Amino acid sequence: MTVRSRRVDYSESTRQALVDSAVELFTKRGYAGTSLDEVAKRARLTKGALYHHFSGKQALFEAAFDSVENAFMRKLGEIVSAPGDPWDTAIAGLRAYVRVCLEPSYQRIVIHEAPVVMGWERWREAEEHFSYGLLRSTIEVLITSGELEQLPVETMARLLFGALSAGASTIAGAADPRKASAEVERTIVRVVEGLRVTEPPPRVIPERSRSRRR
C-alpha cells in the first residue's frame, strides 16, 4: 500500500466517522438540536477535520441523508432483485419499504427533517434519485413478466411513487406509527394487486384457421 493510498483510506474513514456520528445525532436530536462540535466530538475528531470534509452543517446533513438512503435502498434492492417469482419479490420489497418508514433514522432524517433542511425541491430530487428509480425498474420487470397490465410505465411509477411518499408521511406523522404502517401496507398492496393481470389475454385465432372451422 502506497503512502497516497493510506492517506485516501484515512480520509475516507474520517469522513465516514463524521457521517455516522451525524446520522446518530440528527436521529436523536434533529437538525436544530445538533451542533457541529457535538458531531466532531462523538466521532473523536476535531472541528477542523469536520470542515476539511464539509462546508457546514447543511452539507453534513445532506451526507447523512445520502448515507441513510443508500443503506435502506441497498437492502430494498437486494429484496426486489432476489431470484424467485417477480410478483412475490416485488410485493416483499413493497412491504419492506413500508417497514423502513418505521426506522428512527429514516423517519427523522429522510421524512421529517430533509424537506425543511434541504428544501422541498431538493428533497424531491434526492428521493427520486434513490427510491423512484428502484420502483420504476420493479414495475418494468412486472410488466415484462406479464404480472401487471400494459399501462404506461412512467405514469404508473409516478402515481405509485406518490402513493408511497404519502404513506411514508402518514406513518411518520401518526400517533401510532406501527398501526399506521400496517394500514398503509395493507392499502398499498391492495392497490397494486388491483393492477395485476388475473387472466391471460384472449387467444387470437388466425383468419385461415377460422375459415377452416366453418
**Residue range 120-143: average pLDDT?**
90
In this structure, of 71-80, 125-134, 149-158, 164-173, the range with the lowest mean pLDDT score is 125-134
**pLDDT-based confidence at 93, cuts 50/70/90?**
very high
Grid cell 452543517 is found at: 57
Domains of the chain, earliest start first: 56-194 (1.10.357.10)
8 Å CB contact between 118 and 126: yes
Q: Which amino acid is at 105?
A: S
User: What is d(CA 48, CA 130) in angstroms, rounded to the nearest whole number?
Assistant: 31
**pLDDT-based confidence at 128, cuts 50/70/90?**
confident
Tell me what the pLDDT averaged over the chain comes to: 90
For residue 6, pLDDT over 90 is answered with: no
67: Cβ–Cβ under 8 A, 6 or more apart, which residues? 19, 20, 23
Strand partners, 196: 148
8 Å CB contact between 107 and 181: no
**pLDDT-based confidence at 38, cuts 50/70/90?**
very high
**pLDDT-based confidence at 30, cuts 50/70/90?**
very high
What counts of helices (H) and strands (E) characterise the chain? 12, 0
The per-residue pLDDT for range 182-201, each reduced to its tens digit, is 999 999 999 999 999 976 55
User: What is d(CA 140, CA 142) in angstroms, rounded to the nearest whole number?
Assistant: 5
Cα–Cα distances (Å) from 201 to 139, 198, 207, in that order, read 19, 9, 18
Give the pLDDT of residue 44: 95
Give the pLDDT of residue 168: 94
